[in-house]
Amino acid sequence: MIARGLLIAAPRSGSGKTTITLGLQRALVRRGLTVRGLKCGPDYIDPAFHAAATGAASANLDSYAMSDGLLGHIAGEAADGADIVIAEGSMGLFDAVPGAAGHTGASADIAALLGWPVVLVIDVSGQAQSAAAVALGCKVYDPRIRVAGVILNKVASARHERLVRQGMELIGLPVLGALPREASLILPERHLGLVQAGETADLHARLDALAEAVSAAVDLEAVIAAAGETRLPSTETATPPLPPPGRRIAIARDAAFSFVYPHVEAGWRAAGAEIVPFSPLRDEPPPEDCDACWLPGGYPELHAGTLAAAGRFLGGLRRFAETRPVHGECGGYMVLGRKLTDADGVTHAMAGLLSVETSFAKRKMNLGYRRAVLEADGRLGPAGTALTGHEFHYASIVTQGEDRPFATVRDPHGSPPAVAGSRRGLVTGSFFHAIATAESA
């Protein structure tokens, strides 16, 4: 059985689509449905919340970085055997970057490809009937998609709700629910987004509270009825999204290193690789029986002192790198460098396997899609291999050092290409997060 699906989206960021998505997912699970969550775009944090809300794995769907086949494969796995897929959009429904038709990174691309109707979450604070004009624009802007209805968020009063509903009636969009302003429904955040699911206190109590609020304010039967048939494109995936860097991969996994895409790990396992987690924050070195080490992104800048004092981890990592490949993405790249300066301006010695020095003291957001072309042969492919992915970090490079570059990167907006990252011996790293090889995108 292939589940029907819905995309929960919004005209802009900050409308409340994450909390409403989680509330819907949890509420439907509590009604006995098998629910799967998916997240549009490059986001490490929300899928973990989806998994907690539904009790089933979640993954990302990225129309810029993934081919139709890979998108269909991920969506098909989620929909197989479920009752409904509740996917969450990113940013505004149509927000995109320059790209091929259907591959611009917009959430609307995913709705169009998979045939899922859109439920709009509209923050109606500070407006009434004017909210319908915004909804109407979303309804007619892209003929590829169908907006099935709206959920109103931050409704101030019964009178306010009546006025907004009048506007929606004029444009023929059903109101599937209306949630009042309620500060307790807000999930805690930090500089890269929500505090991670594993670190959120009383997570399941919070999810239950969201489910109760959504159940009281939203017509769940109407939401279920709005779901559309999942239309899967070709699911040929002869190769994993990224080649496994080894047959037995040591991967750092704790509060400092957690940004790994589910589809990447799934692809490695499908290719026959084994993933062996270890915790640098518990001063664990990469296991000796592994043949590659991967340091993901995360929040090492919040744990720099602990990592600098983790002698077993740092010593074991250095010994590992003498004979086997080590790669660091974003936060992992920072830890592979010589020094990391934290938010308080305190500088901590890191592994020193690369010569880069980074700082979180002077924050500058770096955000966007990237296409990276490898400068040398490595476990992610031979020189010239193109990878699609993104950057999202506030840390900056203080000193690049003398190492050779890892890749040449371009953004979709036509900026000049730039060298990125570092490589020395068997060690590589950069701020670039890889999503897929360009050949599969």
SS3 293: strand
SS3 288: coil
How is residue 310 annotated by DSSP? -
Sign of CA dihedral 31, 37, 40, 41: positive
* C-beta separation of 57 from 51 below 8 A: yes
Residue from 360, 338, 358, 336 nearest 349 by CA: 338
290 is catalytic: no
User: Cα(18)–Cα(9) distance, rounded to whole angstroms?
Assistant: 9
Structure-token pair, residue 373:
């072309």
Q: Tokens representing 4?
A: 């029907």
| 226 φ, ψ (degrees, to nearest 5) | -75, -20
Instruction: Give SS3 for 117.
Output: coil
Residues 6+ apart with CB under 8 A from 299: 190, 192, 255, 256, 258, 331
Catalytic residues: 330
